Amino acid sequence: MGGNVRPSIMLGASYVVAALLLQSCSGEAPKPVPTPTARATAEAADTRLVLAFGDSLYAGYGVLPQQAFPYVLEQKLRAAGIASSVRNAGVSGDTSAAGLRRLAFTLDGLPRKPDLAIVGLGGNDMLRGIDPKETRANLDAICAELKKRGIGIVLTGMRAAPNLGPDYVRAFEGIYPDLAKKYDAALDPFFLEGVVTNPALMLPDRIHPKPEGIVRIVDRVEPVVEKALTRTPAKAGVR
């Protein structure tokens, strides 16, 4: 998230929001060591490219780059035996509309088409009181573009501050499951689940997680991403 938010809505911010080379003794000539270029090419062919496309919760507001959600997720996937590169395309303060405007530019700037896009936008829309119809339309367009390009989708949802009223909460929180169903996307219903209500896991602003909170989030989200990747065949080099 990030950026300026209404003080009245800030009061609801506590809402429910990681070579060994063996030499032969047989006298055979050792196999040639791959050049750096060859290693990079082989890695690119085997590595799953994941785009983390979101706001400050993805960008890593208030934490070091290696503590941010995309990096921690990448390490968790690798520890699970999945060669992966998770690109951090989080922008602090981004609304769903801003995300939609930069989506094509972001995708076209990647070395190849990603195997999967994790989309986490809408939180700043909610904090600004933007009509959920607008948020829905923007996220729908983002999912449609990803689907058109043959990119798998994981949606990470957000909850609305209760002080926005039951109608707003109902309309906003329905966006994520509806779009997940429409686009056959994997869904993590609430990105900050089990974290936002624990002050020990949140920064003083009560909106963004501490590194410990991010680890907790990744522990929950990684299986969702891993399962989504198994549904998405690798397409190395495909644009």
Residue that has been written with the tokens 């780059």 in this structure: 65
The catalytic residues are 56, 205, 208
Residue 117 has what DSSP assignment? E
10-25: burial string, b at 16+ Cβ within 10 Å, e else = eebbbbebeeeeeeee
Q: CA distances (Å), 11 to each of 2, 39, 85, in order?
A: 15, 51, 37
Q: CA distances (Å), 129 to each of 20, 54, 135, in order?
A: 55, 18, 10
Contact between 52 and 118 under an 8 Å Cβ cutoff? The reply is yes
Return the SS3 of 14.
coil
